[in-house]
Every structure is written in structure tokens, then in C-alpha cells.
Structure 1
Amino acid sequence: MSAQNQRVDGGFRLGQKGRRTKRKTQRACNHCQRSHLTCNDSRPCTRCLKRGLADTCVDGARKKAKYLLEGSPQMIGTSGGAAIGATRGTPLTNSFGSEAISLEHAVLMNMLATGLAFPVTGQSPRAQQQAVDETHHPLQRAPSGPAVHGLNPVYPQAPGDVYSAVVEPYKYNTGFHFLFKYISRRMGRRDILRVSRAIAHFRPSLVALLRNLTREDLIFMEKSFQRAMLEYEKLIGFVGTPTVVWRRTGEIALVGKEFSILTQWDRQELVATNRFIFELMDAESAVVYWEQFAVHAFENSEHAVMSECRLVRPDGSLVPCAFSFTIKRDLFGIPMAIIGNFLPIL
């Protein structure tokens, strides 16, 4: 293209045959932004010069996402996957349609704020000894909500039982709270930052989808989850591949017998004691999983994500595995269940 064709004139670019084409600008001025008119990069811009507003023509302010403006006053918008912080001790305001969602959001905010400011620089001998002690004395677990279908005989065993037994929303906040305690005690500062950035990456999308849901919606979501577990258990029984199903927090809901044979973990223990999938991985594998989950959690696809990981047996020995997981979403587009398949690398 010749120099004449590239010449810019009054906010327009001259193209081939002398045609004037509008030139896009990165940010409109305050007057054009308010009037929803096309602007250019000049300051003052062409429209303001014609309207006699040259003295007050400045760049307009960028609009923030609605869910960031309506949330906590301590919330800070982020760019490029950087974490979103919040001040610890900020009173919880129920700006959502349900207390359960507000609690989940509060735990995520506190986790991000604390995780990014975590002072750990590496595991000292004392910290390493603490990790060894906690192997025999696991972190305290709290029930997250209504029982999920599984191997425990007290769980619902039929569709009718699921629909009648679930009367409360599932408390996902306790799962994220456990994740925060786990990574703060078992991981170094670099791994904590990686997990925090991963959660900050998908948190805005999660908040946007959860914001308008009511308590009845959340109960419906939990009934759908438990009903799906009935079907998944039948499917896993036919497949013969080491398989685990867990929630978006990582809490294990269903375990195939082949996975128990591979890792030597008792199926009853994994389901009935609120175990989490990242507890069964070494630190690097757990961090990589959260990074991959953050990228694929809300994309419009149900393709399996392929990776590798190292599973940890009860005796501490590692099992290298080829690992894939598929994210199943509910009616509202929120990750409902993650189905993971593991094959040992011999």
C-alpha cells in the first residue's frame, strides 16, 4: 500500500482508490462515550472540535463489569488472570440470591486475598515435620451438606430417595475453605500463588452465573447432581477404567473399584470421609490440575482434558498416571461434576 493510501486525515484512514474508512480507537473521549458516538484518537477529537468542546475533551473512563461494581467494596478487578483480593475481616454482605452462594463467594475472596499475601518462602524442617504429622492427623473436615449418593448405605439409593432427601443447598464454601487450609499447610509459596491465580481466573465467571440463583435453584442443582451420580455409578461399573467423580471444589463423590485397586485407597473411606481429589495427588499434580480446570471450567465444550499426574497411595508411594478429566455442567452452565480417568504409566 502506498504512503498516500496510509495517510490519516481527520480520524479517517485513506484506503485504496482514495476511499475514506473509519479508523477504530482504543478509547473514546468522555463526550463521545456519553453520547455513544464514534470517536478517534485525537485529543481533542474531531467531534468535540466541531461542537466547541475541545477544552473538556479527555479520555472516557472504562466501565467495570457489573458484578464487580455490585459486590463487596473491597473487591478489586483484575486483568490477565491476576488474583482478586479482599480485605480480611470485611463483614459479609448477602448480595446474592442465597446465603450459600454468599458464603462460597466470601471464602473464595478470603482465599485469594490471603493466598497472594502468604509469607511462606519455602518449607522449613519444622514445616516439613508438621506435614508429616498431619499425614497421621488429617485436617479437620466439616460436612458440606446433604449426603451424596455413593457406597455408604445411608446415602440415597433410588431417584425417589434423592428427590425427597435433598432439602438444603450444598455448602460448597466448606470445600473451598478446606482447599485453602490444605494448600497453606502443604504447599510452598510459589504453588500457593499458582493455585490462587487459577481460582482468580474462573471466579468472576462463577460469580456471574451464581449471582441470580435462588435457594430453590441451588436445591434443584443438588438434586440434579445426586441424580446424575446414580447414572454415573452404573456407567463406571461397565467401563472398567480407574475412575473418580468429584465436585467443583474437588470433593470426591464417586469412586470406581478399579481406582481403589490402582491406588489401594478404600472406596468407603474416600466417599464417606469427605476426601478431595487433590489430596490424592502430589503437590505439582494438584497445582497443574487447578490451572487446567480454571482454563476449561466455563468454555463451551465437554471435551476431555488430557494430562499426567502422580497419585499418592496411603503409604506415601507415588503412582505415575496418564490422566484425563471431563467437566459436566448443570442447567445453568456451572461445573457440576468432574469425571476423572486414570491409567498407570508402566
Structure 2
Amino acid sequence: MEGPEKRRKKVSRSCVFCRRSHLICDEQRPCKRCIKRDIAHLCTDEPLSNSVTPVSITEPDEQLRPGDNEIKKNDHMEGLHMYNGSASQMNRAPSFLTQQPTFVSEHVGSEFSSLNAFLNMLDDPVLMNHGPATNSEISSHHSLPQQSMIGSPEPSLPVLLEDQNSAVENAPTPKEHFFLTAADPSTEMTPEDRLKSVINAKLEAGLLQPYNYAQGYSRLQNYIDKYMNQSSKQRILKPLSTIRPAFRAIARSLKDVDLVLVEEGFERLLLSYDRVFTSMSMPACLWRRTGEIYRGNKEFGSLVDCTVDDLRDGKLAIYELMSEESAVNFWEKYGSIAFDKGQKAVLTSCNLRTRDGRKKRSCCFSFTIRRDRYNIPICIVGNFIPIS
């Protein structure tokens, strides 16, 4: 009778590894089986609760003998089931995305997070200290050249000569190659081919990368918080809240490489509108979906008392050159058609103001939304006719 009683006692006090292997354990610690397997230092009693101790899933591979591979596999799988995915939760992306939808591209996630935070900031000023997320590197599995990876070190010298044995120190760097290509006055290529070569050189030099829209939303938030009343804030909040779900639905599948191609398309638009704006006498400018102005002609500059150079590369934002009511009116109308393919142009009116805010000018105002290949607004082109 003692044999069965002793067997029941041993089973009830099995160590972690004997219990999982359904083997008979003994009273001593470490048990004989763990000593035999050279894992005596890991031998502990199985806890009574369902929690898993770190020792149960971190058994070192080098401490198991070759014959214990199956035991190790069973232990590992059981540990994973008991954790039920909780360990993977602790290793996820930064906290600002944990309560947001998961995006393939961190640039898209950053923009959506900033838009979401911006909408929350309008109601909760305590959240205003959140800054935009930093850019991350484009994964190496994308089909872009190595030189176009974001965050990568200075690219190595390309081999431009057909003879691979030629000294690379005489070859220009990718950045130098871009500047040489952009400044080349050659007329042998068609305008389209020349444009393509300039953009490709810029891409290879690492100068073309996804735009950080998070900074644009942060800039908009800071402006309206400083210069607009609560009623205007709420009116801007409403159209932006309708944009958010549409943007989320489209942007879920976008990768960083897709955003680079979108930015390439934006560069093409800028080069195209450079020619358009210089040939038209109507005041006009072009801005991104967050409001930063990237192109404008001298006629528009004269309306707001600034130079053409001031209307480049986001130095000014369109809402900074409008009265408060006109800025709110623009965001309301833009939000209503931002993701509607059937709507492109809107005709309305606005009051422009000079850069210092001292003078105002009433204008007829029309704007056209240009969308990228994914139907996301990439820029807005505005035309202004002063009302005398």
C-alpha cells in the first residue's frame, strides 16, 4: 500500500518540468530527474495559481541534453498557451499607437495619431504636450534602392562607370549626382524624361522621403489654440473628425515605400505648378492637406504682403493668411469633400490678411483638391480674385 501512496505524494508535488513531461517526481529539490538533465538550478515546485513564472519559459537551450529536445518543445508550447499572447503585448509599438489602429507604415500611424490627439486636445488642453512621432526607417525588404532608405547612414559611393575596377573616389556621391542632374542644362531629353531623371536622382540621394504630416497637425493645433476662440475650434473639430475614419480606412495598407511614391508625385505637381503659376496673372497658391503653403505666385504674394520665396516649403500656412472666420469656413468645406472622388472644386469667398495681420482683403476664393493614387488629398490649389 505504501507504493501507491508514495506515488500520489510525488505526483502532487511534482516540479515544473516533471509535471509538464508527465513523469514521476520525488520529494527532494532539486529532484533526481532535473539533476540528471543538468537543470537542477531550474527545478522548482509548480505554483498553485495559473500564473507562469519567468523560469518556466526561459529555460536555456544549452542546458538541455540532446535527448531532451521534445521535453523542451512541450515546455515551450505550454508556456506560450498559458501566456496566451500576453508576452507579445508587452513588446508592441510605442504607447501612442497602442490604442490606435495598427498601420503598416509608422509614418501613417504617426499622422493618424497626431490627428486623433489633435481632436482630443481641443477638448482636453492637458494633452497638448504630446509631440509628433519621429520618422522610422523604411524596411529593407522594400524594392527601393539602398540609398533611399530613411534614417540610413550616408550612402556609399555609387559605381557610375562601366568599368567596375575604376577608382570610386572620382565618382560623385548620390547627393552630388542629384545636384548635377538638377542643374544640367541639356536639352537632348524631353521635359518628361528630364523630370523623371531629376526625381530618380533625388530618390537615390535619400532626399525624397515620406512627409511628416504630424508636424503639420501640431502646427495647426498650436495656431488655433493661440488665436481662435472655442466656437471656432469646435467648428474645425467637426470636419476633421469626419476625415479621420476615411483616412484610417484607406491608410491601413499603405507602406513607407508607398508614401515615398506619393511624395514623388507631389514633387511632380510642384514642378508642374511652378510653370503654371508663373504664366497666370490670377493670385494662386498650393498647400498641403495640413495647410502648409509650398508654392505661390507673386500676385498672391502681393495680396498678403510677402515674397514668392516666403510661399515655399511650408514657411507659411494658408490659415495664417486668412481671417478666423474664413479659415474655419475653409476647413468646413474641405472636410466635407476631402475624400469624395466626385467633388474636386469649391467656390466660396474669404478674407485674406497680410502676414503681419494689419491689412485685410476680401476675395472670391476657389480651391481644388488634388488626390494621390490612393484617393488621399495630397494638396489643395487655391485661386483668389480680389473684390474691389
What's the counterpart of residue 102 of structure 1? Answer: 109
How many pairs does the alignment contain? 232
Residue of structure 2 aligned with 1:161, choices 195, 198, 203: 198
Partner of 1:242: 283
Q: Give the corresponding residue for 1:198.
A: 239
Matches within 5 A, 1:24-43: none
Q: Secondary structure at the match of 2:96?
A: coil
Q: State the shift of 1:341 in Å.
A: 0.2
Pair 1:277 & 2:318 matched: yes
Cα distance in 1, alignment partners of residues 239 and 259 from structure 2: 24
Q: Note the C-alpha offset of 1:302.
A: 4.7
SS at match of 2:306: coil
CA contact (8 A) 1:118 1:189 kept: no
Larger radius of gyration: 2
User: Is residue 134 of structure 2 the alignment partner of residue 92 of structure 1?
Assistant: no
CA distance in structure 1 between the partners assigned to 2:320 and 2:289 by the alignment: 14
**How far 1:238 sits from its partner (Å)?**
2.0
> Which one of 182, 199, 203 corresponds to residue 223 of structure 2?
182
Q: How do 1:1-346 and structure 2 match up within 5 A?
A: 91-93=96-98, 95-117=102-124, 159=195, 160-166=197-203, 167-272=208-313, 274-315=315-356, 316-346=358-388
Q: Distance in 2 between matches of 1:175 and 1:273?
A: 9
Structure 1 gap ranges (5+): 1-88, 120-140, 147-152
Contact 1:144 1:174 in 2 (8 A): no
Provide the C-alpha distance between the structure 2 equivalents of 1:253 and 1:163, rounded to a whole number of angstroms: 21
Higher relative contact order (CA closer than 8 Å, sequence separation 6+): 1
Q: What is the letter of the counterpart of residue 120 of structure 2?
A: A
The answer to whether the Cα contact below 8 Å between 2:344 and 2:370 also exists between their aligned partners in 1 is: no
| d(CA) in 2 for partners of 1:289, 1:144 | 29
**C-alpha distance in structure 1 between counterparts of 2:339 and 2:370, whole Å:** 10
**Deviation (angstroms), 1:144:** 9.9
Contact 1:302 1:328 in 2 (8 A): no
Q: Deviations over 1:65-88 (max 9, x none)?
A: xxxxxxxxxxxxxxxxxxxxxxxx
**TM-score under structure 1 normalisation?**
0.61
1:43-78 per-residue CA deviation (whole Å, 9 max, x = no partner) reads: xxxxxxxxxxxxxxxxxxxxxxxxxxxxxxxxxxxx
Tell me: CA distance 1:198–1:118, structure 2 relative to 1, closer, same or farther (3 Å).
farther
Note the alpha carbon deviations across 1:288-329, whole angstroms, 9 max, x for none: 100000001111235420111111113421011110000011
1:314 partner SS? coil
Q: TM-score, normalised by structure 2?
A: 0.55
Give the superposition deviation at 1:202. Answer: 1.2
Return closer, same or farther for 1:337/1:108 CA change in 2, 3 Å cut-off. Answer: same
Distance 2:376 2:238 in 1: 19
User: 2: CA distance between counterparts of 1:225 and 1:163?
Assistant: 14
What is the CA distance between 1:273 and its match in structure 2?
Answer: 5.4
Query: 2:277 & 2:328 partners in 1: Cα distance?
Result: 26
Judge conservation of contact 1:246–1:253 (CA < 8 Å) in 2.
yes
